Structure 1
């Protein structure tokens, strides 16, 4: 906002982060808005913060993108997507191994499971949605210790048959 960029966020997130000012744009789940040629539909997601949102974006060129991060589940289903950007933070086998070896506290594991999308849930999410038109799937927000970038990319490609990319950390 200090750089002159509008920030679109929920009231819960704005309050929690202490955001204010003329660049702050409060948005609500299931209330569509426009930015340029993009139509954006925020939707509720599950996370351990106030009023988290995911986003469905569509432009006039026919692209349709879902953006999902910082959630452990998405109840919404989507059709005609061309791009998927989804958190893939951890895998249960890696998390269990790290807890057993003492490298991850059981309390951290508990929070992780109630706040982030794991590989197994991402696969379920992708299977539950219409991916026929998808051109790319981007995996986001991989955990430094609880993920395996090459494995996650390979397994998502195997499940979907789509081009999968992993965002840099």
Structure 2
């Protein structure tokens, strides 16, 4: 069985990630407007009618700004921890709210979603492992440090959205105030390019076929720099730098692509994807 994945947007201006099988899909975070979510999914040949739920990682605006309109319009259930829910001021919403608990799997059709805590300066931030019967995809962004839990789930992934937020030298020499620099690199902010690279180098499982580098800083990073660094892994998997301005292609994560030698580099054809998948 395949999972289809796409970053609809990735960065401090908004985050939204799509993971779905042939019947059901979920969105991880809803940090772009409902209109932009619809436009980008349509361009990719993805049907929003197949989205069954939205999972929220934490309460920062770049992860929730489009949530209320999107959930209300499509009557999508929202999954969030109780502590994060307090900060969202969830009241009598016209859609259902479900509270997550760490490590407790949620079943959405043929897809399971497992939340687990991460280090970030939010009330109760969580990352997610999204899985079908045979394929696992990680959504690991807004992480201040590589912890044992992250390594545990990373080693299970066939594909991963992994934060590569900042270049250490660019951050150090940049014009951010000192307190903001320390917030970013202080253990509850974001992963640097180096930290992300070392995680992949040390713990990438042999069956990981797709790496989508995500949440790049506009001011303290450069897509070309990230692409050059991670080109080290080009012979082992598909490496993609997710944009803060546009959606990525839709990638088919299947058992046929689970090899580091003969990579399945096929991007799902949007027209065919619309007809056969939905």
Whether TM-score is above 0.5 comes out as yes
Query: In 2, are the aligned partners of 1:64 and 1:83 still within 8 Å (CA)?
Result: yes
Partner residue in 2 for 1:156: 230
CA offset digits 1:37-83 (Å, max 9, x no partner): 111111110000111000111102x2211111111123222334210
Aligned to 2:72, the other structure's residue is in SS state: coil
Partner residue in 2 for 1:112: 184
Distance between the aligned counterparts of 2:223 and 2:161, measured in 1?
Answer: 15
TM-score normalised by structure 1 residue count? 0.89
Q: 1:65 aligns with which of 134, 137, 140?
A: 137
Q: Deviation of residue 132 (structure 1)?
A: 0.9
CA offset digits 1:79-126 (Å, max 9, x no partner): 34210101111011110111xxxx211111011113111111111222
Partner residue in 2 for 1:91: 167
TM-score normalised by structure 2 residue count? 0.56
Query: In 1, are the aligned partners of 2:233 and 2:239 still within 8 Å (CA)?
Result: no
Aligned to 2:201, the other structure's residue is in SS state: helix
Structure 1 runs of 4+ with >6 Å offset: none
Distance between the aligned counterparts of 1:158 and 1:26, measured in 2?
Answer: 40
Distance between the aligned counterparts of 1:56 and 1:157, measured in 2?
Answer: 25
Partner residue in 1 for 2:206: 132
Q: 2:100 aligns with which of 24, 27, 38?
A: 27
Query: In 1, are the aligned partners of 2:141 and 2:215 still within 8 Å (CA)?
Result: yes
| C-alpha spacing 1:25/1:128, structure 2 compared with 1 (3 Å) | farther
Distance between the aligned counterparts of 1:147 and 1:94, measured in 2?
Answer: 7
Query: In 2, are the aligned partners of 1:7 and 1:25 still within 8 Å (CA)?
Result: yes
Distance between the aligned counterparts of 1:124 and 1:26, measured in 2?
Answer: 33
Q: Provide the alpha-carbon RMSD of the alignment.
A: 1.6
Unaligned runs of 5+ in 1: none
| C-alpha spacing 1:146/1:6, structure 2 compared with 1 (3 Å) | same
Bigger Cα displacement from structure 2, 68-77 vs 29-38:
68-77
Q: Deviation of residue 33 (structure 1)?
A: 1.1
Q: Deviation of residue 138 (structure 1)?
A: 0.6
Query: In 1, are the aligned partners of 2:212 and 2:242 still within 8 Å (CA)?
Result: yes
Q: 2:109 aligns with which of 16, 36, 40?
A: 36
Q: Deviation of residue 159 (structure 1)?
A: 4.9
Q: Deviation of residue 128 (structure 1)?
A: 3.6
